[in-house]
Amino acid sequence: MTDQLDSETRIKDDDHHALKLWLRLLTCTNLVQGYLRQQLRESFDSTLPRFDLLAQLDRRPQKLRMGELTKLMMVSGGNVTGLVTQLEKEGLVKRTPMETDRRTFLVGLTKKGKSYFDKMAQDHESWVVDMFSRMGAVQQDELMNDLMALKQSVKVAARPNEH
C-alpha cells in the first residue's frame, strides 16, 4: 500500500493527545478495511458487507431472523434485505418464513453458501494475519490489552448516567 492522505493528516501539533490517538485508530481501521475490501473484490468479486452477513450466518447455524441480522450487523433493515435478496439469487443463503409468523423470515446458509464462505473466511484470515505479521506476538498482545482498556473507557463514557 502506498502512503496517502489519511485521517492523521488532520493532526496539528497542539491537538489533544486523545484526539491524535483517535485519528490514528481511525486511520488504522480505514487502512485495514480498505485492504480487506480490495482483497474480497479481487479474490471473490464480493464486498465486506456480504462477507459480514455470511459470517453472521456461519456463526449461527440455527438460522437468524432478518431483524437479528440487522442488529448484529448494525445496519438498516433495508440494507440487510438487499444483501439477503442478492445472496439468495446466487444460491448462497435461503430465506424461509417462520411457521409461527409468516411475515418473519429466517435466513441461513445453503450448502453452497457454507462452502463459499469457508473459502472466503480462510483467505480473510490469512490476509489479516499477514497485515499484522510485522508486529511481534508481544506487541500484538500489548495492543490487545491496550484496546481492551480503551473499549472499557469508551463504554463507560458512552453510558454517563450509569456510573
Exposure of 91 in the CB half-sphere (CA atoms within 13 A): 4
The mean pLDDT of 72-99, rounded to a whole number, is 91
Q: What was the pLDDT predicted at 1?
A: 46
- Under DSSP, the state recorded for 15 is S
CA 49 → CA 11, 56, 72, 82, 93, distances in Å?
Answer: 30, 11, 12, 11, 14
Topology, domain 13-156: Arc Repressor Mutant, subunit A (1.10.10)
CA 14 → CA 7, 11, 18, 26, distances in Å?
Answer: 16, 8, 11, 19
Q: What was the pLDDT predicted at 5?
A: 63
Give the integer Cα–Cα distance in Å for 55 and 49.
10
Looking at 41-50, 69-78, 117-126, which range is the least confident one? 69-78
Residues 81/66, Cβ–Cβ less than 8 Å: yes
Which residues lie closer than 8 Å to 89 by C-beta, 6 or more apart?
none
Which residues lie closer than 8 Å to 58 by C-beta, 6 or more apart?
109, 114, 117, 118, 121
- Tell me the pTM: 0.82
Q: What was the pLDDT predicted at 2?
A: 46
